[in-house]
Amino acid sequence: MTEYVEMTPKPREQILKAAENELLAFERKEGEFRKRLQRERAAELPMPAIKDELLRN
């Protein structure tokens, strides 16, 4: 027979803090991904001046 387990809800603040932490981690990863993608695309550019400028950032 299945056992009844009572789940106690987390306080709203804990849930909001966890969601905020996850969002910040996602935004940080997304920013790192965009920078890496920009550097990779800049490395493929045939124009050295533009390529050098993008790779410096």
Please check whether residue 54 is in contact with residue 39, taking contact to mean a CB–CB distance below 8 angstroms: yes
pTM exceeding 0.75: no
Beta-carbon contacts of 51 under 8 Å, excluding residues fewer than 6 positions away, are 42, 43, 45
Q: How far apart are CA 2 and CA 28, in angstroms?
A: 43
Question: Would you kindly state where each structural domain of the chain is located, as residue ranges?
Answer: 12-56
pLDDT in tens, 9-50: 678 888 999 999 999 999 999 999 999 998 888 888 777 766
Please check whether residue 10 is in contact with residue 26, taking contact to mean a CB–CB distance below 8 angstroms: no
pLDDT category of residue 2 using cuts at 50, 70 and 90: low
